[in-house]
Amino acid sequence: MKIIDITRPLSEGILTYPGDIPPVFRQEDHGHYLITGLHMSTHTGTHIDAPVHYLKTGNTIDTIPLSHVMGTCRVLDVTRVGINITANHLKGRLDNIDRLLLKTSFSNTDRFVENYPSLTADAARLITSRNMKCVGIDTPSIESYECDGAVHRELLSRGCIIIELLDLSKVEEGDYILVALPLRFTGLDGSPARVVLLDENGCE
């Protein structure tokens, strides 16, 4: 089974959303060992949004069902769609799945731009109508920069966990096994995560 790491490297200088906390790492040499202090946001790098992030109620990152972010998933290639991923771009492509990852034209981008691809409200409603457990995307946010949070609220209020800022640049469209594990931060709204795909048809 082939393991595909779809986590963006997390380092100082990584792409961050405007207004977010840029990561700062301070490593100290304590003689027999090294130790590093971290200063960053819960939404740094590849990360998972818990419902409380936008709803301000409901599951926190330590209480989301891990079954939602582990299991079979489908990667859809929407690189040629443009910046608005609508319901029409997804219709007929969601059969027999309950986890979805969207590969956009942003995957090779390492700096923030305002016109990144994102889900429209009707696409979010289509996803929740299919009772999806999880949706991920390779952009800084699941919804547009000029947003009001409606897409986040639609997904999170229906129990659909969100993963953002994936690296799907080397992943082909198809079905995989997803493993996305957040840190167990008590009561918090999100967490950086290590996210991998398992390809049952590939080999190391």
Q: Reply yes or no on whether 53 is catalytic.
A: yes
Q: Token pair of 115, please?
A: 């016109």
DSSP string, the chain: -EEEE-BPP--TT----TTS---EEEEEE-SS-EEEEEE--TTSSSEEE-THHHHSSS--TTTS-GGGGEEEEEEEE-TTS-SEE-HHHHTTS-TT-SEEEEE-TTTT--S--TT--EE-HHHHHHHHHTT-SEEEESSS-SS-SS--SHHHHHHHHTT-EEEESB--TT--SEEEEEEEEE---TT-SEEEEEEEEEETT---
Tens of pLDDT, residues 124-141: 999 999 999 999 999 999
Answer yes or no: CATH 3.40.50.1820 is held by domain 2-199.
Answer: no
Kindly name the residue from 43, 47, 53, 152 that is annotated as catalytic: 53
Q: CB neighbours (10 Å) of residue 74? A: 19
Query: What is the per-residue pLDDT for 3?
Result: 97
List the chain domain ranges: 2-199
Predicted confidence (pLDDT) per residue in 12-21, tens digit: 999 999 999 9
Averaged pLDDT, groups of 10, the chain, 204 residues long: 96 95 97 97 98 97 98 97 96 96 94 97 98 98 95 98 97 98 98 96 71
**Predicted model pTM:** 0.96
